[in-house]
Structure 1
């Protein structure tokens, strides 16, 4: 079997894709997906990533993301919903792979894999796109994460940002890969709805000098209860590394430093939990049950 044409980049227009049946564990496409699951360098080089599950495939397609390949296990091929998603993906140029459960397990490195696995083109806003997005909504709430290391935390924060209607997440400095399988899984599909951008610390600090609203960070040395801050819009929430928190130079870039009170013996909150607490406080009064 010949390999598919090489990845042609985001925004490319492709003819309808093909359908391939794969039974061999040594098939090049099986090896490629395994590499995307396991290796950040392969994801970076290819511009692709893997997301598991019919829900995520549905979210990706409804949000207009480009699908490179869609893998269907035996159960998926018996599902009308999965077949409809596959037909949509194929019409947009995706290659549809029909595989056995053992091959799917090998691809995903899971004993009980999802029966639908997608390979998608990554999306990261460049500097110009981020600048336009920041200026587009003066009432927006954004999240910035400084050197976050845990993919589960990052994925959960993306999911929470989606839930509260934040406009996007800025990854500052050396962060974990948002397109790692663990991070994507934790987003529960919110990766396809929350814009991502990257910045160096220096670029972030430069942006902070002209931020027009509140730039709030959480800090153990913060003297202000997070509930007592007046969050002027646009609001940018800056959260630090899981182990070290915000370094002094990043904390000094904030217009307010908040502290979340604690009554027990824990010395800190989990990063994703703390981010959720802050975001819901920032959006308090904006969110209603009938929104």
Structure 2
């Protein structure tokens, strides 16, 4: 290997303790880094040009040659570790034998607003890591331009969230923002803000989603906050023929994203 190579076998090593802290939000915020685990996620991170700083691998298995080849001449530190060290840096029930330490990206509101904001998902207090991961995957699947995480939304870099994105977190910008500040600025740029509501009269299928649109989804139990709802230009409902009262927030987001994608494809044909 052309990059730095070291060996750490003790869980008492100070670097191991620092890495283990990244399993908690406080540690991630303090260090400005996060952990990803498994070949697939690390491959996606490398392909996307994420700032992979260190890769830990089991000494008994030897260096992960596929990842070494994919990393090329990037300045990555490769660390051979014991099973105990790897377990300390993992929250998975069955560690996959390779872990990476990645620098958190800095994507701000100005950068988001300066780019294309044709179709964006905005989350206001979504708290379940699985829901956030599913929404990011759906946004990725339809080619949305970004996902915005408002205050109160679960941490993107929570290991459970990362796993549930299945690598989609590396395929589009994900921005943390104060929605009270961001949404008015988006409207000034001609963006239409759409929220779902069980009290809404208009169906999502009868609403024009072809123009620049930001779809806003709220907390699993409380929905969109009153402050954010007051910013919306239009409220829509997803019609349901069965007896279910409502959809899970990730399912609702997926329905609206694919309806927006369907309308846009029909516009092109």
The TM-score normalised by the length of structure 2 is 0.90
Quick check: 1:46 aligned with 2:46?
A: no
SS at match of 2:42: helix
Match of 1:80 among 48, 65, 70: 65
Contact 1:104 1:113 in 2 (8 A): yes
CA distance in 2, matches of 1:54, 1:99: 16
Change (3 A) 1:271 1:165: same
Match of 2:22 among 36, 39, 42: 36
CA distance in 1, matches of 2:157, 2:4: 25
Q: CA deviation at 1:274?
A: 0.9
Q: Corresponding residue for 1:11?
A: none
| Residue deviations 1:210-256 (CA, integer Å, cap 9, x gap) | 25143211111111111111114211111111110113332232222
Q: CA deviation at 1:209?
A: 4.0
Contact 2:125 2:150 in 1 (8 A): yes
Aligned-CA RMSD value: 2.1
Quick check: 1:116 aligned with 2:98?
A: yes
Match of 1:25 among 11, 21, 31: 11
Change (3 A) 1:132 1:211: closer
Q: Corresponding residue for 1:203?
A: 181
| Residue deviations 1:146-198 (CA, integer Å, cap 9, x gap) | 11111221111111111110110111222211111111111111111220122
| Greater Cα shift, 24-33 or 210-219 | 210-219
Contact 1:208 1:253 in 2 (8 A): no
CA distance in 1, matches of 2:65, 2:183: 50
Q: CA deviation at 1:208?
A: 4.8
SS at match of 2:236: strand
How many residue pairs align between the two structures? 265
Quick check: 1:95 aligned with 2:95?
A: no
Contact 2:134 2:250 in 1 (8 A): yes
Unpaired segments ≥5 residues, structure 2:
none
CA distance in 1, matches of 2:252, 2:191: 21
Quick check: 1:282 aligned with 2:260?
A: yes
SS at match of 2:89: helix
CA distance in 2, matches of 1:201, 1:41: 23
Match of 1:151 among 110, 125, 129: 129
Unpaired segments ≥5 residues, structure 1:
1-15
The TM-score normalised by the length of structure 1 is 0.84
